[in-house]
Chain A
Amino acid sequence: MNKPILEINNLYIDYPISIGTVHAVEDVSLILNRGEVLGLVGESGCGKSTLGLSLLKLIRPPGKVSGGEILYKGKDVLKMSGSEMLNFRGQNIAMVFQNPLTSLNPLFKVKDQFLETIHYHKPEIKQEEAIRMSENILEDLGIDKERMHEYPHKLSGGMRQRIMIGLGLIMQPDILVADEPTTSLDVIVEAGFIDLLNRLRKRFNLTIILITHNLGLVAEIADRVAVMYGGRIMEIGSADNIFSDPLHPYTFGLINCIPNIELEQKELITMPGNPPDLVNPPDGCRFAPRCPRVMDICKKEVPEVRMYKGRKIACRLYE
């Protein structure tokens, strides 16, 4: 395969708060290959959005990247200047956020949101050209171009979500970071959205990072899956491997604690206990206090990420 389009090496992200420091992302390394969909999964607060935001250098101070590098085609994103960053966002990498109603400006018509975005990145583009670009992308998204003249609240949830995607894609970025893009959608609309993402990725050769705690969604669309827990990567592998043979005890728990409509389940796997406190994380493996297979050594040293059976895994059971 070619060189990865994005390479994250030993990334650390902290949020200083009154009682200490939240270690939201710790020692995360990840590569992204061109044209793939990477599912980034894990439960609430494990650092998914923080990691996603850092790729666009959007961590709000006092939060900060305290170590590591993010290489986009070999160039360190974290070292880009302000003006480089403005171009980079939108044109190379774009992000779509969780709630389309709060991230679309309610005071502007759809058309104006597009024109604004285009003008921001490329002020030299003329208005007629910008309108044509917007109409084209709306057509790709299956939205009637007459809808351009509506305000966001007049549109259905699914349409708003597609418009968000449209705004993200209008400058033709290579990478789309989609943070919980379907949480506000119903299943049928969500299914349509998955189809849409699949079409877009082919059409634009998009690379997608899909952040979600919906494992079903990831199974539908992701090529590879990265599982996070307490700010750290637990396991990364192909979607097939991760779902058919989850090795890390946390991945195993995560996949087997959800009802699966295809199966006759008598009981769900449960994981008693709570996610770790990221201000004072437990020593050793972050998952050790909840792990059904915990050993003495797990509580002492953080397990390193190693290759095992074609995937990367951070667990003492596989050394």
Chain B
Amino acid sequence: MPELLKVTNLTKNFPVEKNILDVLLAGRKRNFIHAVDDVSFSIREGEVLGLAGESGSGKSTTGRLILRLLEPTGGSVYYRGKDMISIRRKEMEALRSKIQIVFQDPNSSLSPRMSVGEAIEHPLKIHNMGTKGERKEKVLDLMEKIGLTPASFLYRKYPHQLSGGQSQRVVLARALITSPDFIVADEPIAMADVSVRALILELMKKLKAEFNLTYLFITHDLATAKYLCDRVAIMYLGRIVEIGTKDELFGNPHHPYTKALLAAVPVPDPKRRRIEEMPKGEIPSAMEPPSGCHFHPRCLRAMLKCSKKKPGMREVSPGHFSACFLDE
């Protein structure tokens, strides 16, 4: 399969704003948050790449940079070989219909004043696609496919009249209406109830097959990543520390952080209670990331050089990379 998306050395620093709280928190030290730090990966057509890691590791920022909802500090994003950072605005607008994003909280991403029909139609209007009649037909057709039925009834409803599962379907429908081929799904099930999660995951699988989609699936739940993704990248404090196929990453994890994350996942089986020792403490601030390997202060296997040098990405088996000195 050809490469659909390629990200090279992507970097994003946020200047820290100088309000009271920031001053309190940051003192007089450095004034940048290193949200994304030299991230590279690629996604093949039809693939689901998972981006996993704890809160604040830079997953959402990476997703937003790809859609150019944020301007990168450095690095490149190529979509079908086209450099998205340097293309003109007009060309970018055209590409926008091909790349869509789905956010975590359907309630805050849907306008309370737009009916279901209007919300799903909205991107078509923005991109000037079709006549009014054609657009309505397209919306109703997609609503059927996505399980927003009876479509003609729900078409007129407003977000507050929908269940959690229905709202998340509206968000998905709105992302799919312009026939994109690439979707960044940023924790699309994190806010949903367990039974709704399963429905949305199954729906995303079905839609992928039906519309020939490629996903970047952002999640902090490794069990979900394993269920849905072909390959998974693990992020920690702005960097990818390990990336590989699902089988490699879950069956043969290399990076101590990946191992810790895997061991921490609670398993719904009382016979498999966790015994491993957990890393100490919590993620340090992205404002002052630790030197060398970002994980070294928490790593149970850290060596002297881990705090001195940044470990490079090493191929530990074909297509499986890990950034840890233990793999040298």
Contact = CB atoms under 8 A, between A and B. Distances in A.
> A and B bound?
yes
Interface of A: 43-44, 153-154, 156-159, 186-192, 194-195, 213-220, 222, 239-240, 243-244, 253-255, 257-262, 265, 267-272, 274-275
Contacts of B279: 188
A195 B198 contact: no
B268 A260 contact: yes
Given A219-B266, A243-B270, A258-B198, 8 more contacts: A44-B193, A186-B54, A195-B278, A219-B273, A259-B228, A262-B269, A270-B202, A275-B193
Contacts of B138: none
A261 B221 CA distance: 10
Given A187-B264, A190-B264, A270-B199, A262 B271 contact: no
A243 B267 CA distance: 11
Interface of B: 21, 24-25, 54-55, 163-165, 193-195, 197-199, 201-202, 220-224, 226-228, 250, 260-274, 278-279, 282-283
A261 B226 contact: yes
A194 B266 CA distance: 10
A244 B268 CA distance: 10
A216 B222 CA distance: 12
A240 B220 CA distance: 27
Contact of B274 (A44, A191, A239, A265): A191
A224 to B, nearest CB: 11
Nearest to B203: A270
Given A215-B194, A258-B198, A270-B199, A191 B264 contact: yes
Contacts of B193: 43-44, 213, 275
A297 to B, nearest CB: 24
Contacts of A259: 201, 221, 223-224, 226-228
Contacts of A271: 195, 198-199
A158 B269 CA distance: 25
B159 to A, nearest CB: 15
Given A186-B55, A186-B283, A258 B223 contact: yes
B271 A244 contact: yes
Nearest to B279: A188
B8 to A, nearest CB: 28
A267 B268 contact: no
Given A240-B271, A260-B223, A274-B165, A190 B266 contact: yes
A240 B270 CA distance: 6
B227 A188 contact: no
Contacts of B21: 153
Contacts of A44: 164, 193
Contact of A188 (B226, B228, B261, B270): B261
A262 B272 contact: yes
